[in-house]
Structure 1
């Protein structure tokens, strides 16, 4: 056999080995864009761009907890305290409620396992302890209310009747935020392991136990609408019924502006 034939046979064997290796370890798929001249181009988005101005934490808080919802919480909390014991009124004010909410947010970020530890001499946190006394803080926490218990009709009519005014207010504030072009609907977990018939278990989530919330959010992570899952969903009659899971999408997508592509 000649040297040229030996070289050709070796090259053929190498080519065969490469083909086998490619089949065994296929690379990433190569996508090809097929140009269709009859296809119309994607329409340009006509929405209003949201301002990227960075506000202070207090300004962001005041956008959602406006004066009207704070006054409503103060009224309902004082009413609930009087319903429990007329001889010991709570006398909560709007300013004091703001201080209470501020300490609650700070506690959640600080991370002590017990709330009373913020007033303990061994691990006292001045940002909380100097704002409000422990007895006053626990009294506000005990009587904090968002709706009048006597106004609800029959028990079980609305599983979220105690926080319904707050949920409605927050949804209205989220809907007022200008939306981005790309939106998505997904579920989100609020971690909770206490006793509640609304608690869900989702093994695929990082936080498996908690309250499940269905959220409409933009590509930047800002939510625009949400619905707390209570085990049952009231489907609006004006929307088409496409199944229990599918009905979530058109229901949450109702605030999306029309005629903006």
Structure 2
């Protein structure tokens, strides 16, 4: 029987695949032999710690399987090449290594390599790192998602019906929802009166609550310093309209007691505070669900959507208010908003109440986006744009699996984003430089503008020849220059402003003002959403009114008055003139005032008369009979 040295045996083991191949049956037999051989190893020497898991035999490479096969053959058909020397037995010499120990070390090396992360294996093997490509490299155009909306995009209304501002607003604040508001407000007022609050209260009705909402919109358009100023009657700057709708005290008592949920149900919910069953938004939940359902039912968005935050100013200590330094409104309730990029329509929204309410484990930004994108309601093929708070490779990949394209700026420190890749942008990179990497349907793009811009997309190719115009200074002269721009950046700048446009429309005539209760601030924001969405739908249907004209008509219809009231004006011919030419006698030309004689039965002489009426009338600071006489003219 042939005998082999250790070097010859190892050379046989490490032969190439062409010289040594094993069929599938032989591989299965070798695995069995491998398991049989591992059972014979000394447990004390091959003990695996509890925190590590040994790879299964299936995870071994082909070369390791060949090693075990040869090892088994050598064990059955060969003898040890070397034998221990006496010195090794006594511990004074080195123990010679056998063929089996050499092969076993090779197998252990394969195991340890399989357990290391890919990044460590690449670094240990000195494999080349990723390298950014430039705009000169051609990127494949990703396969476009077919746009299949659940309904025809646009207003979901019959075009044959005539829709006024009031009728559109009532689709969000229906009479059923307003009736519930009245019932809960009356219950809250009765509870307050039972506690000893001393003010007169009569039950609130649907028409009166609509008038109250109309006054809120009126105050949004006509700004005064305080609520009391709207009912002042002794000032040059007094406004007469609010007093004709309801008294000041009635307005204030409605504001104090306005309630969206029933007070008894509030008490039951408050008892659950600190448990998983407690609902922080219970006091606004009934109306919020109604508004959200109406936003999705009345209008179906077009292809491009935007996701962003919206702040509702409030500093109440509720545990839900947030501080956002970069926002114009820094303190308040944070809402995650899904808007149509084409017109700013608020498609859906969610009030942020804390991280514990997003339990999927993928992070707040991931859950906020996925909770707003309902496949059954929207359909598929939509393009969603977001900022770097939301964008992550995990989110964009999962949205692509749901047939939603996505694009957004990203942060380099996000998980799975490319870092430390060669040929990246630096601070010295020239303006317009482009770098990109593609991972299947996901493309990462970096672009140098005044600073570095990082965008990730599943919709666009890296660069398609787009350019942007920028003002640059050369030799003390400002000139317009074209720079190459990646396709994801161009699309992001075009479609990301959906929520910003919605915020802009809301802020024009916002009903927000100081309030004692936090849920009243959210109620006012619901009014803003309903009025703004109503205006957008009216513009889509008719396009005949400006935003201001729409709000004026809405206020008039809510308050039940006519906006087209012609004010009473004095004719240009009715002007006071001297009764006669002034003579040396001071009493010449004075006649009796006809208004004082008829109204008060007094004789008052005056030198003034009306040019058109030709009657003498008093014109004094404290007695203006001329003005009183012409009120009915």
Answer yes or no: is the 8 Å Cα contact 2:184–2:261 preserved in 1.
Answer: yes
Distance 1:33 1:115, change over 3 A: farther
TM-score (norm 1): 0.76
SS at match of 1:180: coil
Distance 1:259 1:202, change over 3 A: closer
SS at match of 2:379: coil
Answer yes or no: is the 8 Å Cα contact 2:201–2:253 preserved in 1.
Answer: no
2 CA distance for matches of 1:71 and 1:233? 34
Partner of 2:259: 145
1 CA distance for matches of 2:259 and 2:344? 30
Partner of 2:189: 81
1 CA distance for matches of 2:192 and 2:307? 42
Aligned pair 1:96/2:208, yes or no? yes
Partner of 2:378: 257
Taking the TM superposition and a 5 Å limit, the aligned residue runs for 1:197-216 are 197-216=319-338
**Highest CA radius of gyration, 1 or 2?**
2
1 CA distance for matches of 2:173 and 2:356? 27
Taking the TM superposition and a 5 Å limit, the aligned residue runs for 1:237-248 are 241-248=361-368
Partner of 1:181: 303
Cα drift, residue 190 of structure 1:
1.4
Distance 1:198 1:96, change over 3 A: same
Alignment gaps of 5+ in structure 2: 1-133, 383-633
Work out which structure has the larger RCO, using CA pairs closer than 8 Å and 6 or more positions apart in sequence.
1
Partner of 1:10: none
- Post-superposition Cα deviations, 1:169-209, rounded to whole Å, max 9, x if no partner, equal 11111121212111122111112345544322111112222
Answer yes or no: is the 8 Å Cα contact 1:49–1:180 preserved in 2.
Answer: yes
SS at match of 2:245: coil
Cα drift, residue 137 of structure 1:
0.8
Taking the TM superposition and a 5 Å limit, the aligned residue runs for 1:26-175 are 34=138, 36=140, 40=143, 42-47=144-149, 48-51=152-155, 56-85=164-193, 89-121=201-233, 122=235, 123-152=237-266, 153-155=268-270, 156=273, 157-175=278-296
1 CA distance for matches of 2:334 and 2:316? 14
SS at match of 1:98: helix
SS at match of 2:182: helix
2 CA distance for matches of 1:245 and 1:189? 16
Distance 1:65 1:32, change over 3 A: farther
Distance 1:125 1:174, change over 3 A: same
SS at match of 2:252: helix
Cα drift, residue 151 of structure 1:
1.3
- Post-superposition Cα deviations, 1:123-159, rounded to whole Å, max 9, x if no partner, equal 3322322111111111111211111122132423222
2 CA distance for matches of 1:147 and 1:138? 19
2 CA distance for matches of 1:84 and 1:218? 42
Distance 1:36 1:170, change over 3 A: same
Deviates more, 1:85-94 or 1:116-125: 85-94
2 CA distance for matches of 1:72 and 1:216? 27
Query: After the TM superposition, which parts of structure 1 deviate over 6 Å for at least 4 consecutive aligned residues?
Result: none
2 CA distance for matches of 1:84 and 1:215? 35
Distance 1:84 1:36, change over 3 A: closer
2 CA distance for matches of 1:154 and 1:35? 56
Give the CA RMSD over aligned residues. 2.8
Aligned pair 1:230/2:342, yes or no? no
SS at match of 2:326: coil
2 CA distance for matches of 1:147 and 1:235? 24
2 CA distance for matches of 1:225 and 1:195? 26
2 CA distance for matches of 1:117 and 1:80? 27
SS at match of 2:189: helix
Cα drift, residue 214 of structure 1:
0.7
SS at match of 1:245: helix
TM-score (norm 2): 0.33
2 CA distance for matches of 1:186 and 1:32? 34
SS at match of 1:130: helix
Distance 1:164 1:59, change over 3 A: same
Partner of 1:20: none
Alignment gaps of 5+ in structure 1: 1-29
Distance 1:154 1:97, change over 3 A: closer
